[in-house]
Structure 1
Amino acid sequence: MMAKETGAIEVVRDEKIEPKSAGEIGFGDLIAPLTPDVFFREYWEQKPLVTRGRARGFFAPLFSTRDVDRAICYFKPRPGRLDLVTEGGFVRDNFLGPDGAANINLVYESYLKGSTVILSGLEETWETLAVFSRKVEALLNHPVAIAVYLTPPNHHGVQPHFDTQENFILQVEGVKHWKVYPPMRELPPVEGSYMPVPREKLPAPLCETELHPGDMLYLPRGFVHEAKAADSASLHITVDVHVRTWHDILSDALAAMADRESRLRKSLPPGILSDDRSRSSLEAGFRELMGLIQREARLSDALSKHAEKLIVSKPPPPDGHFAMLHADIGLNTPLQKRALMQTRRVQDEGLAGLQFSGNQLLGPAKIAEALRYIDESRVVVPAHLPGGLSDNEKLVLVRRLVRVGLLTHAREGSAEGRE
């Protein structure tokens, strides 16, 4: 059912969303009852959205107020990963100990005086949020970062600002009143930055809303916003999606082409800013290379570069894989991909490969069918690998994929064969 709150914000509500464990929460739970197709068609990069109806403690398994001091004390985040902010701006240095790490008692003191505590980079350090972020990345194929904001009662959080990433705000505890203003710039470049806006330059609010525990607010990048906690402390999780744009994919295509085309790696003619002949030479070379790029740039190369940044550079969550490194693996040993493993198959002239979370494996074209089977199967039995490989070649391949982090022993109860 659709409704309108103060201003132009759209609200959807679903009363059927039951509590889940941390490992069960996924992107679909943030936008329910909307489907991903509807969300991406009607809201993504376009307009704010509030979803309601989840149980009050729905998001608490991911991170709660009880976790804040544990994250500070045990993970020892440095400035940039731990920030204190007031409506006037960032609090600097006075909460740090001699070793540069936060003094938790000074953090408590600053918080009680009105500072919002911000913990960033939790997609790398907090297990439940790391797992959640990988699930979201697997669906969106865009990088995800996660931060937590703890605001004391009756205080503002960050001053009015806009972000250069897509934001999903998950209210965990307390109530927060939000004002959302029109965007200062349509689709600002994705820089992962925070852009404050002076109050005298703020237009009239586009909408206002209160988030209660279990609610979600989606803010497209560029929309200016501010928030104030109600009579109790407010904790929310911000899921930042640092979208990759058409500019990025074109840059990746050009970078991949430069890897194989030496003309793109030549230096520019000397004097191009001051000498007419150099500028003339530059113009001719520019037009020649633009023609070459138009003829030979390949989307598949750009996607490989994208996968290197999003998939290959990020190992799956730790799962005790050291125990597998000396495991006895035979032709009938059932194996499977490790949990939350993202994959992408690669094939080119004389080459076959698999890009996957944390690594990649490239080899001769004859392993292409075996890699396809491994990629598409829930359970991998080495003896069943297709493609005409010898028994020894099958064992060499799967043992290699265990060592480089893709495969592990199949769990009991896993169904054999493809999904």
Structure 2
Amino acid sequence: MLIDTLLGDLPRSAFLQEHYQKQPLAKPSTAAHLRELATWATVDRLVETTSCDLLLVRDGKLWTGSRPSSAQEARALFAQGYSLALRNPDRYDAGLAELGRTLSAELQGTVNLQVYCTPAGYGSFGWHCDPEEVFIFQTAGAKRYLLRRNTLNPTPLHETLKDETDVSRERTPIQECRLEAGDWLYIPGGYWHEVTAPDQESISISVGLMPPTPIDVLDFVRTHLLRSPTWQQRMPMLGHASPLSDPEKMEAYRSLFRELGGELQRMLEDPRFVLRFMAAAATAGLRSSVLREAPSREPKQ
């Protein structure tokens, strides 16, 4: 398994028990075989020959101009201190797609893969947290990570991430980690982190895995309840023309809710339904990192 190769002398059981979804882990050198997946040649090709989404950010501020159409334009902005953030490049690169699918198959989760190029002496997004379980693979140069546990919203969802985060309210200790080419870092979902390339330019791959949550179960349940006559029935009237008194309306709704709860409980306890959800969750993860567009032309020289 890829995860076993990455862990090196650390047993998988120790990683799953002590680190995964709990606390960060950095490992030196064991990701060296992934270095060729993200090089300047990879970045140039993705910028010039695909429609890969590209963000440019310098110390927390986004570039407001148009997307660079050539590697020369992108590198000119890089020289001005802008990090290049290629989003979902696994849709256009077979090697990156395979990396995402492999991690999803081994650890389960929908994939959010990005390639970052950060110039020396600059950072990108400042302090922030991600809902996914994040694996960072350093492919060139070096990066410095500051990390701290999130006690304000320890297991965020995409829907519950705030636009304005205030990490200053945290009192958890700050951890520091430096990644060199061939190293990798695991950051649990929700962990605060700040990233800079202090002394040399950096290229890295970020693979975020979003595991299934009970909210996903709720969404899956809804698709099945749409076929249930019990859940399609109309609720008792609440308008002023209703013949029921307010206490009678309350009792009618309580009775209906008990009936709905019973059907919902029977569904959730059905082994067949559980297996259907497990299969759907696994399939969603594998489909989230699939090669969808091949390069259309050679990069410009």
Which TM-score tier does this pair reach, normalised by the shorter chain?
0.7 to 0.9
How many angstroms apart in 1 are the aligned matches of 2:75 and 2:44?
A: 9
Q: How far is 1:118 from its partner? A: 0.5
**Residue number in structure 1 paired with 2:190:** 222
Whole-angstrom distance in 1 between the partners of 2:63 and 2:278: 36
1:156–1:229 Cα contact (<8 Å) kept: yes
Give the partner amino acid of 1:160: W
State the partner residue of 1:69: 44
Instruction: Give the number of the structure with larger relative contact order, counting CA–CA contacts within 8 Å between residues 6 or more apart.
Output: 2
Paired residue type of 2:16: F
Unaligned runs of 5+ in 2: 240-244, 292-301
Percentage identity across paired residues of the two chains: 24
CA offset at residue 139 of structure 1? 1.5
In the alignment, the residues of structure 2 paired with residue 138 and residue 163 of structure 1 have an alpha-carbon distance, to the nearest angstrom, of: 21
SS in 2 for 1:160: coil
- Judged with a 3 Å threshold, the aligned counterparts in structure 2 of structure 1 residues 48 and 309 are, in CA distance, closer, same or farther, namely closer
Equivalent residue for 1:150?
A: 117
SS at match of 1:61: helix
Which of 19, 37, 53 is residue 43 of structure 1 equivalent to?
19
Tell which deviates more after alignment, 187-196 or 123-132: 187-196
Conservation of the 8 A alpha-carbon contact between 1:192 and 1:242 = no
Q: CA deviation at 1:115?
A: 1.0
2:214 paired with 1:246: yes
1:122–1:279: structure 2 CA closer, same or farther, 3 Å change rule? Answer: farther
Q: Is the 8 A contact 2:55 2:63 kept in 1?
A: yes
- Runs of 4 or more, structure 1, over 6 Å off, are 315-318
- TM-score normalized by the length of structure 2: 0.82
Name the residue aligned to 1:33. Answer: 9
Once the two structures are TM-superposed, the CA of residue 161 in structure 1 deviates from its matched residue by: 0.5
1:144-188 Cα deviation digits (max 9, x unpaired): 221111000111121110111110111111111111122132212
Matched length: 283
Q: Provide TM-score, normalisation by structure 1.
A: 0.60
**CA RMSD of superposed structures (Å):** 3.0
Whole-Å separation in 2 of the counterparts to 1:234 and 1:194: 28
**Structure 1: gaps of 5 or more residues:** 1-24, 319-419
Q: Is the 8 A contact 1:165 1:191 kept in 2?
A: no
Map Cα deviations across residues 299-349 of structure 1 (whole Å, 9 max, x no partner): 43243244335427839967xxxxxxxxxxxxxxxxxxxxxxxxxxxxxxx
Letter of the 1:230 counterpart: P
Q: Which has a greater percent of helix? A: 2
Can you list the C-alpha shifts for 1:44-96, whole angstroms capped at 9, x where unaligned? 111111111337x432132222210100111122xxx211112233223x133
2:61 maps to which of 89, 92, 97: 89
**1 CA distance for matches of 2:117 and 2:173?**
24
Q: How does 1:93-242 map to 2 (within 5 A)?
A: 94-96=65-67, 102=69, 104-183=71-150, 184-191=152-159, 197-198=165-166, 200-201=168-169, 203=171, 205-242=173-210
Alignment equivalent of 1:54, drawn from 18, 24, 30? 30
Inter-CA distance 147–315: structure 2 relative to 1 (3 Å threshold)? closer
Tell me by how many angstroms 1:221 deviates.
1.1
Give the structure 2 partner of residue 336 of structure 1: none
